[in-house]
Amino acid sequence: MTHRSNRFTGLLLASALAVISTSAAAQPQGDAQAGKIKAYTCLGCHGIPSYVMVYPTFHVPRLGGQHEQYIIDALKAYRDGKRSFPTMEAQARSLSEQDMADIAAYFSGLDSKN
């Protein structure tokens, strides 16, 4: 019985480790320099102060200094259909997770306080 429960504990530990290593691998490290180049398209809308979207009419959000993790989450939500906005869905679907991490690193570093 003890033997069996030991084996069970071992299995649990192994699967926990597998989950941890998978989630660590799932998020690539962002490179702001690479992100600067990849963000070229983004800046067509997000780089222009007071740029306004039409139908519906609102300002394109400011991204300078925004949290890196939030930018990645938002891009994934557009990619996965959890946020609907045609332009952003199309953009997000063209990006790899490495691209998202790089772009997020770039925008989060654009902060006049840095």
Partner 1 sequence: MKSIFKILAAATVLAAFQANAADPQAGKKIAENVCGACHGVDGKSENFPAYPMLAGQYPDYIVHALKGYQSGARQNPIMGGIVGNLSEQDMRNVAAWYASREPGVEDTPDE
**Binding residues vs partner 1 (CB under 8 A):** 43, 46-47, 49, 56-70, 73-74, 77, 82-85, 107, 110-112
Instruction: List b or e across 34-54, with b for residues whose CB sees 16 or more CB atoms inside 10 angstroms.
Output: bbbebbeebeeebeeeeeeee
How many Cα atoms sit within 13 Å of 89 on the Cβ side?
7
CB of 55: closest distance to partner 1 in angstroms?
A: 12
Comparison of 2 and 29: residue with beta carbon closer to partner 1:
29
For residue 21, count CB atoms less than 10 angstroms from its CB and return exposed for 0-12, middle for 13-18, buried for 19 or more: exposed
Comparison of 47 and 98: residue with beta carbon closer to partner 1:
47
Contacts of 88 (CB under 8 A, 6+ apart): 75, 78
CB of 91: closest distance to partner 1 in angstroms?
A: 16
CB of 21: closest distance to partner 1 in angstroms?
A: 21
CB of 12: closest distance to partner 1 in angstroms?
A: 28
Comparison of 8 and 85: residue with beta carbon closer to partner 1:
85
